[in-house]
Amino acid sequence: MSFATAPIFDQLELSEINRTIILDIDGTLVPDGEEDCSEKTRAKVMNLMKNNNVVLFSNSKNTERGKKMANALGISFLSADKNKPNPAVIMATGRRVGDCTVIGDKFLTDYLLAVFSGARFVPVRRIYSGRESFKIKIIYLVDDFFNFLSRLVGIG
Ligand SMILES: [Mg+2]
């Protein structure tokens, strides 16, 4: 499973029906820390909403931004006591894990959430603003390295 060769979110071709989709924010819908989705991204979310229950979830401490974004998109913001990749995030949807799909740009959070809980996973290629902080760049580097390692040993 490679994030590098996956499409970015607004170019995903999905045929998900009647599922709960746990949608990541940073790097997936918007570049890290931003809050305004592009028109294409908004349209893709609307498209997913036709046949699915779409919820936003982020490990970011800034839950106000997440709630605001969810509001603007007309979907709900999932609150959970734990962070990704803890399967408690999936439990918080109230849906059976077999009915859940996780969409995201990170190996250590999004992908492992799906692996640990047994949900379906759809990788997206990360989107960048070019203004990412040093801390975020390091986090991305570490994440990409683990994704690389997992592919090397054939578990990703
Ligand atoms: Mg992300």
Stated as kind and residue range, the H or E segment containing 146 is helix 134-152
Mean pLDDT of 109-128: 97
Please give all residues whose CB falls under 5 A of ion ligand 1, grouped by chain where several chains appear: 24, 26-27, 105-106
pLDDT in tens, 52-101: 999 999 999 999 999 999 999 999 999 999 999 999 999 999 999 999 99
37, two tokens: 């989705």
DSSP labels for 25-86?
Answer: -BTTTBSTT-----HHHHHHHHHHHHHSEEEE----S-HHHHHHHHHHHT-EEP--SS-TTS
Q: Which CATH superfamily is domain 9-152 in?
A: HAD superfamily/HAD-like (3.40.50.1000)
Measure the N-to-C terminal CA separation of the chain; round to a whole number of Å.
Answer: 5
Q: What is the pLDDT of residue 154?
A: 85
Q: Please give the distance, rounded to the nearest whole angstrom, from the Cα atom of residue 51 to the centre of ligand 1.
A: 23
**Distance of CA 101 to CAs 19, 32, 39, 42, 128, Å?**
7, 22, 23, 18, 23
- Is pLDDT at 141 greater than 90 in this prediction? yes
Q: Please give the distance, rounded to the nearest whole angstrom, from the Cα atom of residue 17 to the centre of ligand 1.
A: 23
Mean pLDDT of 33-52: 96
Q: Please give the distance, rounded to the nearest whole angstrom, from the Cα atom of residue 95 to the centre of ligand 1.
A: 22
Domain boundaries, the chain: 9-152
Q: Please give the distance, rounded to the nearest whole angstrom, from the Cα atom of residue 24 to the centre of ligand 1.
A: 5
pTM more than 0.85: yes
- Residue 1 pLDDT class (50, 70, 90 cuts): confident
Q: Please give the distance, rounded to the nearest whole angstrom, from the Cα atom of residue 50 to the centre of ligand 1.
A: 23
